[in-house]
């Protein structure tokens, strides 16, 4: 049996579309929506023939094979219309996700819109210095000549299993962190796992929808499938997770993380209307030097570092980096507790120092309910969070150097900037 072909890559000649982007509304996969073909396409009703008063001997009718051919042609026409109007359906086993996405020469380097950062200019550290909460050395203690930077306060609820007790505690802590952010005039991006969402739906949880209505963002933390899982399996699994999440929050979801090593994950995202990707790490869990930057971009590919570090001016997915964190540390963009505030301050100041006046700049501040300690110490943790926001973040927001945002809002700002500046960008 011949090997199955990979999903064809989009021809670069087909990417010449207007620069003004529109939010892609989530849609069902073609395999599902194909049932929406109007009945009138498939069969046309026949009008009753009036009976004549004078009976005339009937003429010889068409042979059975003529009728059969007519039916066959009508069915073929309906199938062609369905293919053109709706799009072809697929077998989930038909197309296999590749572990890497070959980059064509038509895409540019991401340095066209991203300022490279040498992390060792700001950190002197080794993996042994990097347990969560420790702060590697940093030369600059305060941002010098910092430009405007968007700060996204991200709260992540991960994990593929949720016990009733864990769910109750995570939901309570989510509420406390959302309230804390609101007091400091911050909006949060809530990254929610499929397991958490499933439990919340089963319990009839209403808090997530209330927070979304108040202006906080809800994002999808997708549990990865096997890297070589078929394209259709990824599409259907992500569609199901996205549908559940949007039912829970009663909102539109456009941001996600997951699928880092799959070379066609951005094509899946485009099918589903997902426009903002975050938290790219290499297979060993580290963030390569080239990804510790502060400027968003639209990658020309996905799946590996080479593909990610390309720039497609017409790309449908914006990648948001997290900032200048130390690459010698594993899980450097993982959430941190109040013990890690020194680390967070150094990362924030380093990121603000490399911000560019002529680009969009972002720093993503991450935490998680599961990173709090014993529940009896939650109040202590929250007081520490409030003190840090008051002393470090609030003054920068007041000065205008930091702008409170969410992942999708920052992504939209970048898209607007790209549309307005594409003619000025030096494509490298």
The DSSP-derived string for 108-157 is: EEGGGT-----GGGT-B--GGG-STT---B-S-SS-SS---EEEEEEEEE
Two structure tokens written together for 357: 């006046």
Is the C-alpha dihedral spanning 54, 57, 62, 63 positive or negative? positive
- Three-state DSSP class for residue 193: strand
Which of 27-41, 207-221, 299-313 is the least confident region?
Answer: 27-41
337 compared with 393, residue with greater pLDDT: 393
Where in the sequence is the domain holding 31, given as residue range(s)? 26-37+65-89
Q: What's the structural domain count of the chain?
A: 2
Do 70 and 206 belong to one domain?
Answer: no
Half-sphere exposure of 263 (CA within 13 A, CB side): 18
Query: H helices within 250-375, ranges in order?
Result: 265-272, 305-308, 341-353
The pLDDT value recorded for residue 66 is: 58
Do 84 and 169 belong to one domain?
Answer: no
Do 312 and 359 belong to one domain?
Answer: yes
Mean pLDDT score of the chain: 77
Cβ proximity of 216 and 406 under 8 Å: yes
Domain annotation covers residue 237: yes
| pLDDT tens, residue by residue, 24-45 | 344 434 333 333 233 233 333 4
Domain annotation covers residue 100: no
8-state DSSP, 391:
I
Two structure tokens written together for 246: 């949007």
Domain annotation covers residue 42: no
State mean pLDDT over 69-80.
Answer: 62
The pLDDT value recorded for residue 29 is: 40
Cβ proximity of 337 and 371 under 8 Å: yes
Identify the CATH number of the domain in which residue 402 sits: 3.20.20.370
State mean pLDDT over 119-130.
Answer: 65
Do 187 and 140 belong to one domain?
Answer: yes
Do 227 and 275 belong to one domain?
Answer: yes
């Amino acid at each position: 049996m011949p090997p199955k072909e990979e999903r064809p890559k989009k021809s670069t000649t087909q990417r010449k579309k207007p620069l003004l982007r529109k939010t892609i509304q989530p849609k069902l996969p073609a395999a599902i929506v194909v049932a929406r073909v109007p009945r009138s396409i498939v069969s046309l009703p026949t009008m009753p023939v009036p009976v004549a008063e004078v009976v005339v001997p009937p003429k010889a009718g068409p042979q059975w094979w003529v009728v059969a051919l007519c039916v066959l042609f009508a069915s073929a026409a309906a199938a062609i219309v369905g293919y053109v109007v709706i799009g072809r359906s697929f077998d989930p086993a038909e197309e296999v996700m590749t572990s890497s996405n070959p980059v064509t020469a038509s895409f540019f380097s991401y340095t066209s819109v991203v300022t490279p950062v040498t992390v060792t200019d700001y950190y002197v550290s080794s993996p042994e210095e990097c347990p969560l909460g420790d702060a590697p050395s940093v030369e600059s203690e305060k941002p010098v000549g910092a430009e405007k930077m968007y700060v996204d306060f991200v709260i992540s609820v991960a994990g593929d299993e949720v016990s009733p007790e864990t769910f109750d505690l995570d939901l309570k802590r989510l509420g406390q962190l959302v309230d804390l952010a609101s007091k400091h005039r911050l909006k949060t991006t809530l990254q929610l796992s499929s397991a958490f969402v499933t439990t919340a739906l089963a319990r009839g949880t209403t808090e997530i929808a209330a927070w979304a209505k108040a202006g906080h963002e809800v994002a999808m933390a997708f549990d990865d499938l096997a890297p070589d899982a078929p394209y259709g399996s990824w599409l259907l699994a992500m569609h199901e997770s996205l549908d559940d999440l949007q039912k829970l929050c009663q909102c539109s979801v456009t941001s996600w993380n997951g699928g880092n090593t799959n070379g066609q994950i951005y094509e899946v995202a485009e099918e589903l209307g997902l426009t903002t990707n975050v938290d790219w790490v290499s297979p060993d869990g580290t963030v390569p030097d080239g990804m510790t930057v502060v400027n968003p971009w639209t990658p020309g590919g996905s799946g590996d570092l080479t593909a990610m570090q390309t720039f497609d001016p017409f790309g449908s997915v914006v990648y948001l980096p997290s900032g200048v964190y130390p690459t010698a540390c594993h899980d450097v963009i993982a959430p941190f507790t109040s013990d890690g505030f020194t680390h967070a301050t150094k990362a924030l100041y380093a990121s603000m120092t490399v911000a560019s006046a002529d680009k969009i700049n972002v720093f993503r501040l991450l935490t998680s309910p599961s990173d709090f300690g014993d529940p009896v110490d939650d109040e202590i943790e929250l007081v520490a969070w409030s003190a840090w926001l008051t002393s470090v973040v609030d003054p920068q927001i007041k000065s205008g150097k930091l702008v409170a945002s969410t992942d999708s809002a920052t992504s939209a700002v970048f898209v607007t900037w790209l549309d307005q500046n594409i003619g000025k960008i030096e494509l490298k």
